[in-house]
Amino acid sequence: MTLIDEITLLRNACLSSLDASHNYYAHTKGAWRLVQQMVWQGHKGTIRNQATGNTVDETELAGLAQEYVTGYLASATFQHFVSLFEQFAFDFLRIWLTEYPGALSENQLEFRNVLDAADKSEIIAAVVQKEVHRLSYKRIDKWFAYLEEIAGLGCPNLDQIQRLAEIKASRDALVHNNGIANSIYVGKSKSLARFVDGARLELPQNYHRDSWQLIRQVVADMADAGINKLGN
C-alpha cells in the first residue's frame, strides 16, 4: 500500500467516525425531543435502573432531557471529536515518518531494542513510535510545528491551530479537572480562553458544532495537502 493510499484510508476513516459521532449527537437529541413530546401528549411510563435502583416516571424523564443533552451527551461527543482528531494526527505522523525516517536520524534507541528487532522495518517502527509518543506530551502547536518541519504541508493555519488548542484544552479540563477551567486551561487557550480559572466549562450547541466542523476541516486539509504533495 502506498503512502497516498494510507493517508486516504486514514482520512476517510476519521471523517466517517466524526460524522457518525455527530449523527449520534443529533439523533439522540432528537430522540429526547420525541420523549418530551410523548409526555406532553399524555403518555405514561416508568424506567428503572437495575444497577442503581433509581426509578423515574414520564414527567421526571422529560425534565431530565435538557440536562442529559447539554451535559452528558454534548460532553461525551465533544470529547470523542477531540480523541478522533488526536488519533488522526498521530497516525498521520506515524505513517509519514515511517515512509520518510530520515527525519529521525538524531533519535536514539536502546541497543537492546535494536538487537531484539527482526529487521530494519522493526527498528524504524520502534523509533517512530518513540518519537510520536514523545510528541504526544507536547502542546498542540508543537505538533504542527513538527509536522510542518518534516512534511511542509502548509496547514493548518495559525488561527486554526489556536482554536484547536482551546478545544483540546476544554477536552482536557473535562477529562482531568471535572469540567472546571483552571490555570492550565487558560494557559493553553491563551486569548481564546472562554472561561476564567475556576469557572465551570460549558459546551453550547454552536461551540459544539463549530468544534466538530473545524476538526473535520483540518483533517481533510491535512490529508489532502499530504496527498497533493506526494502526487507532485
The pLDDT, as a whole number, for residue 114 is 45
Query: How far is residue 220 CA from its own chain's centroid?
Result: 14
The pLDDT, as a whole number, for residue 231 is 84
Using omega within 30 degrees of 0 as the cis cutoff, is the peptide bond preceding 101 cis?
no
Quote the cell numbers at residue 93.
505522523
- 189 near 169, Cβ under 8 Å? yes
CA distance 48 to 46: 7
- 156 near 221, Cβ under 8 Å? yes
Q: What is the pLDDT along the chain (232 residues), one digit of tens a residue?
A: 899 999 999 999 999 999 999 999 999 999 999 999 999 999 998 999 999 999 999 899 889 999 999 999 999 999 999 999 999 999 999 999 998 887 665 555 444 444 354 556 777 777 888 888 889 899 999 999 999 999 999 999 999 999 999 999 999 999 999 999 999 999 999 999 999 999 999 999 999 999 999 999 999 999 999 999 998 7
Which is it for the CA torsion 49, 52, 57, 61, positive or negative? negative
The pLDDT, as a whole number, for residue 124 is 75
CA distance 19 to 78: 12
pTM: 0.90
Using omega within 30 degrees of 0 as the cis cutoff, is the peptide bond preceding 204 cis?
no
For residue 47, what is the enclosing H or E element? strand 46-48
